[in-house]
Chain A
Amino acid sequence: NAGVTQTPKFQVLKTGQSMTLQCAQDMNHEYMSWYRQDPGMGLRLIHYSVGAGITDQGEVPNGYNVSRSTTEDFPLRLLSAAPSQTSVYFCASSYSVWRGTGELFFGEGSRLTVL
């Protein structure tokens, strides 16, 4: 089982560039979400989705865009990268709490550096 797959694992961008972090899951999970992890701040929710075609903002959505055209894929777009977006990004997916434990399954993370 592949689980949650994120690409790329590492990326260096210049300020102002745009890019997309890809996330795919093969567990038929309804819920998907993106987090960023910064030292001392834990995991902060950027955007989440409860199903194909439905997305919503999390705690720190500014500067990021998402879409969910299929159950499997949930890409995260950085529109115009800024140094403050230097972080480790995690994609996660889960069943709803009615179908399972609600446990989040995480990808391996993508380390992004913005110069």
Chain B
Amino acid sequence: AQKVTQAQTEISVVEKEDVTLDCVYETRDTTYYLFWYKQPPSGELVFLIRRNSFDEQNEISGRYSWNFQKSTSSFNFTITASQVVDSAVYFCALSEGGGFKTIFGAGTRLFVKA
């Protein structure tokens, strides 16, 4: 069975600090997909990134970076030089096989103070 654990319930940082959001997953499949979504205070859900299980390359997009490590079943998300606009709930998610059933973690609420 698939499972996603985001152990950090809430994180509070001061603007310009770097912050890492942890995600640990469980799956029996050899082919799977990992995602991060952002939910700002307005409530909509915004897709940030997808990684395939067979591609362990880390990815950087502006101030955002993702570290995928199959050996530890982790897919962590780092925000560099955080900004107030980064304040949101961040969800890690996992899809097995055909990718039609996506399971989410409980989310990490990030507060960035000015």
Contacts and interface: CB of A to CB of B under 8 A. Distances in A.
A50 B100 contact: yes
A112 B59 CA distance: 38
A58 B102 CA distance: 9
B44 A97 contact: no
Contacts of B62: none
Interface stretch (B68-76, B79-87, B104-112): B104-112
A44 to B, nearest CB: 7
A48 B100 CA distance: 8
A102 B103 contact: no
A42 B44 contact: no
A35 B96 CA distance: 17
A89 to B, nearest CB: 12
A96 interface: yes
B98 interface: yes
B95 A42 contact: no
A90 B106 CA distance: 15
Contacts of B103: 45, 59
B98 A103 contact: no
14 contacts: A33-B100, A40-B9, A40-B106, A43-B91, A48-B100, A48-B101, A88-B43, A92-B102, A94-B100, A94-B102, A97-B33, A101-B50, A103-B50, A109-B43
Given A42-B106, A94-B102, A106-B45, 6 more contacts: A31-B100, A44-B104, A96-B100, A102-B35, A103-B47, A104-B45
